[in-house]
Structure 1
Amino acid sequence: MVNDAAPDTRSTGRKFRAFTAKHLDELTARAGLSPDQQLAVRAVATVLPFRTNAYVIEELIDWSAAPDDPIYRLVFPQEDMLPEADVAHLADLLRREAPKAEVEAAAHAVRMKLNPHPAGQMELNIPTFGDGKIPGLQHKYDETVLYFPKQGQTCHAYCTYCFRWAQFVGEPDLKMAGDEPAQLREYLLAHPEVTSVLFTGGDAMIMGEPVLRRYLEPLLDLEQLESIRIGTKSLAYWPQKFVTDPDADSMLRLFEQVVQSGKNLAFMAHFSHPRELEPLMVAEACRRIRDTGAVIRTQAPLIRTINDDPRVWEDMWRTQTRMGLVPYYMFVERDTGPQDYFAVPLADAYEIFRDAYSHVSGLARTVRGPSMSATPGKVCVDGVLDLFGEKVFALHFIQARDASLVNRPFYAKFDPNAVWLDDLKPAFADKFPFQA
């Protein structure tokens, strides 16, 4: 299986090169931004993280269409992503070359208004175990544990809408990270109800094979585990990871080892736009991963100005199905960061999902959505109905903290402007099923 990459993809491999905030003026000038616009973008980048790489810049972005190109908007900060007054204040600090500490304090104040840890990530999801809490471990649902490896707390490139943005802004108090695989193993042994572990971040695939092996190998003899999941954007932002990188072959051998141990190895691959699927390198990377026995499931949020069009989703799901990938989730943009800039109203999200879903075959209808990863669980918008003379949203829990709520329908009053669960009011009841 290894050492069999197609010659044309082997020969086009390039060494990874990252671009960060210090390169913004150079790159935004290429997009045609004026000096004032460039300054505003740099102001936004003091609050929210920016990182991309040469592959994204040269292979994915259509610079002739920038700054309106969807991939450009996917990775580059926009001047109107944050409140105008905040951007103006930060831009003024940068313009007059204020001390670094003053700029950082102003940026921190803006971050604290952006709900950096939605869905109770720091308050509700981190369990107490032994003498305290295990760094980097979350246990939101009975059968699933999330783990944030310390070495996986970055990505090959950052998405402007990422709900994990707080991991990347250099504030230790906002970061979730663990570096004790033995603690993770001990926790799982003490919780036999856990059948699945999800490695997330950041991006676990930023790690090299020896580091990832440290986290995976201790889990392979745990009979309770049915699946190991890896949340990653690497197939879209750096497919070379699995084809031409120096440890590509050894990484694939590690995947084979996981599968041979009897675990379902699932790649939770993040694709936001059909263009990310076009390069030959992506097809080759997917083929090599699938040849190990791993399954690649695809997911992304619905994002205004980037993929808020049913044809975009139809195209993605059709292409992914042809490639042997499994469409999995359409998410609703979470209530954090620049949500106001990117969010699509739930009523529109449902119509986009329904329209795209109705034009694909049954093989692509494995996808679920639009789904909100809210505090009580993953809430799916099933439709808009007229019941008993009232217009309502029909909803159900795909996953819930209270397992008894899973797959039970409930209703909310229709609100054309609602973008999140907290915007909704119960219909035909005084409270929602998850409210005490």
Structure 2
Amino acid sequence: MTLVNDAAPPAVRSTGRKFRAYTAKHLDELTARAGLSADQRLAIRAVATVLPFRTNSYVVEELIDWSAAPDDPIYRLVFPQEDMLPADDVAHIAGLLRRQAPRQEIEAAAHRVRMRLNPHPAGQLELNVPSFGDGVVPGMQHKYDETVLYFPKQGQTCHAYCTYCFRWAQFVGEPDLKLAGDDALQLRDYLVAHPRVTNVLFTGGDAMIMGEPVLRRYVEPLLELEQIESIRIGTKSLAYWPQKFVTDPDADAMLRLFEQVVNAGKSLAFMAHFSHPRELEPAMVREAVRRIRGTGAVIRTQAPLIRSINDDPKVWETMWRTQTRMGMVPYYMFVERDTGPRDYFAVPLGRAYEIFRDAYRHVSGLARTVRGPSMSATPGKVCVDGVLELAGEKVFALHFIQCRDSDLVGRPFFAKYDPAAVWLDDLKPAFADRFPFEDMAVPDRR
């Protein structure tokens, strides 16, 4: 194994420290470090009863600039903001917390707010969960013919939660909102019965929250299947806990598992989520990237465009150039999903395209592997290709990167320009009465 050697990784302050999580019970003391008043801290606790909060010692001590908090982008990336939810909802729950209302009353109020936040966008439960054998397959989504997503039960948390996470419903303790499975053989059997599936994405949560023996239990059965060309792992661990691949007790074993996947003739795609250039700065991250790449895995990078955190072309240019220099492959700029506190974080599509274009034009061809801005909408992944004048009308040019109807992939279509539009549902067709996807037959895998 070429990547594991006896040399110590570059020294950083966190080397050798054990993982320590911070949860909602630590919020008051942590937000006090940001100079917030007691009322502001109470409002943030109210938001955290609705949306999940979790961070860790590495993020708190190594990534956040506390002298700039609460405006620091990494602080905003992981700590709730009081205006992420409607003011009336925050005030109501804050009032319950202030008078120490019974836990059931607080949770009932939080549940009512959650149900208004579109916890499962893009038909995740209605359209994507397939049937097999005696019923639906727990923890699986099958939206596109060639790709299956699997949510291992043991991977349904993260080293830290992003405030904008579109999978927030996985983490709020409501079983009816959670996707999770733990039957690796059922996953294998489903794939055998669906030979058009060529790649599997392990997601969550974060698949890399699992230890090596648990991840191995899900991965190894797939290595025997000739149809499987690639295995993807969706993760934020390189940004939030790179020690996972350097100093954690099972770091070497995990890397050997990665190498085993590659030696079995499969592509191992490590789908790394980086939201801001600061996440790329620590020496621990560079060492983790070096070791993962040494297994033969390819690291592809992606993140959503988020107001107040990375809505600046210079931020994206810096990220893509740094990632390329480190040997990673820029992959996606996403549009914030239509769920959770979307109204707080969303960037209008016109502005999103400007940010993408301005960053894209300043990077080399090697970084222009990136695609975006992309919306993961109900019919598929829609890319905003530009804003232009056609036949005297200002329009968005769009195309499907992926679609439930594969015949629509790559075909351009147009929408009337709307400076306030933030999502596909906000757009109206241009030069036609209907969008092409409105008439497509959506496969129901149940």
Whether 2:445 is the aligned partner of 1:434: answer no
| 2:31 is the counterpart of 1:28 | yes
Q: Deviations over 1:166-217 (max 9, x none)?
A: 0000000000000000000000000000000000000000000000000000
Which secondary structure does the structure 2 equivalent of 1:140 belong to?
Answer: strand
Alignment of 1:280-291 (within 5 A): 280-291=283-294
Alignment partners' CA distance in 2, 1:118 and 1:19: 28
CA distance in 2, matches of 1:102, 1:428: 52
1:194 aligns with 2:203: no
Partner residue of 1:2? Answer: 4
Taking the aligned partners of 1:7 and 1:179, their CA distance within structure 2 comes to 34
* 1:23-80 C-alpha deviation (Å, 9 max, x unpaired): 0000000000000000000000000000000000000000000000000000000000
- The whole-number CA distance in structure 1 between the counterparts of 2:324 and 2:6 is 23
* Equivalent residue for 2:271, pick from 254, 257, 268: 268
Counterpart position of 1:395: 398
SS in 1 for 2:227: coil
Partner of 1:149: 152
SS in 1 for 2:122: coil
Letter in 2 for 1:2: V
| 2:361 corresponds to | 358
- Residue 412 of structure 2: which of 409, 413, 431 is its match? 409
Provide runs of 4+ in structure 1 moved above 3 Å.
3-11
Q: Secondary structure at the match of 2:375?
A: strand
Q: How does 1:169-318 map to 2 (within 5 A)?
A: 169-318=172-321
Separation of aligned partners in 2, 1:164 and 1:26: 26
1:130, distance to aligned residue in structure 2 (A) = 1.1
Asked if 2 retains the 8 angstrom alpha-carbon contact of 1:148 and 1:201, the reply is yes
Q: Which residue of 1 aligns with 2:83?
A: 80
Contact 2:10 2:287 in 1 (8 A): no
Q: Quickly say closer, same or farther: Cα 1:390–1:287, change in 2 above 3 A.
A: same
User: Using the alignment, how far apart are the partners of 1:9 and 1:246 within structure 2?
Assistant: 17
**Aligned partners of 2:286 and 2:166: how far apart in 1?**
27
Deviation at 1:6, TM superposition (A): 3.3
Contact residue 146 and residue 200 of structure 1 kept, 8 A: yes
Secondary structure (helix, strand or coil) at the match of 2:129 reads coil
Q: Is the 8 A contact 1:317 1:327 kept in 2?
A: yes
Preserved contact between residue 60 and residue 276 of structure 1 (Cα < 8 Å): yes
**Which of 60, 70, 76 is the aligned partner of 1:67?**
70
Mapped partners of 1:40, 1:198: distance in 2? 37
The alignment's C-alpha RMSD in Å is: 0.8
**1:41 maps to which of 39, 44, 49:** 44
Percent of aligned pairs with the same amino acid: 85
Distance, in Å, in 2 between the alignment partners of 1:4 and 1:59 is 25
Aligned-partner residue type, residue 53 of structure 1: N
Question: What TM-score, normalized by structure 1, do the two folds share?
Answer: 0.99
Contact 2:155 2:204 in 1 (8 A): yes
Would you say 1:325 and 2:328 are equivalent positions?
A: yes
Task: Give, in angstroms, the shift of residue 218 of structure 1.
Answer: 0.4
Deviation at 1:5, TM superposition (A): 5.1
How far, CA to CA, are the matches of 1:318 and 1:229 in structure 2? Answer: 23
Contact 1:9 1:284 in 2 (8 A): no
In structure 1, the partner of 2:338 is 335
Looking at structure 1, the residues matched to 145 and 406 of structure 2 have their Cα atoms a distance apart, in angstroms, of 8
Give yes or no for contact 1:397–1:407 (8 Å, CA) kept in 2: yes
**Rounded Cα–Cα distance in structure 1 between residues aligned with 2:190 and 2:209:** 25
Conservation of the 8 A alpha-carbon contact between 1:75 and 1:160 = yes
CA contact (8 A) 1:299 1:329 kept: yes
Q: Secondary structure at the match of 1:418?
A: coil
Residue 363 to residue 7, structure 1, CA distance change in 2 (3 Å): closer
Structure 2 Cα separation of the partners of residues 407 and 369 of structure 1: 14
Count of aligned residue pairs for this structure pair? 436
TM-score normalised by structure 2 residue count: 0.97
Gaps of 5+ in 1: none
| Helix, strand or coil at the partner of 1:380 | strand
Report the CA distance between 1:314 and its aligned residue. 0.1
SS at match of 2:125: coil
- From 365, 381, 384, the equivalent of 2:384 is 381
Q: Would you say the 8 A contact 1:9–1:243 is kept in 2? A: no
- Counterpart of 2:125 in structure 1: which amino acid? M
**Aligned equivalents of 1:363, 1:181: Cα separation in 2:** 37
Q: Deviation at 1:4?
A: 4.0
Whether 1:139 aligns to 2:142 is: yes
CA separation in 1, counterparts of 2:9 and 2:157? 30
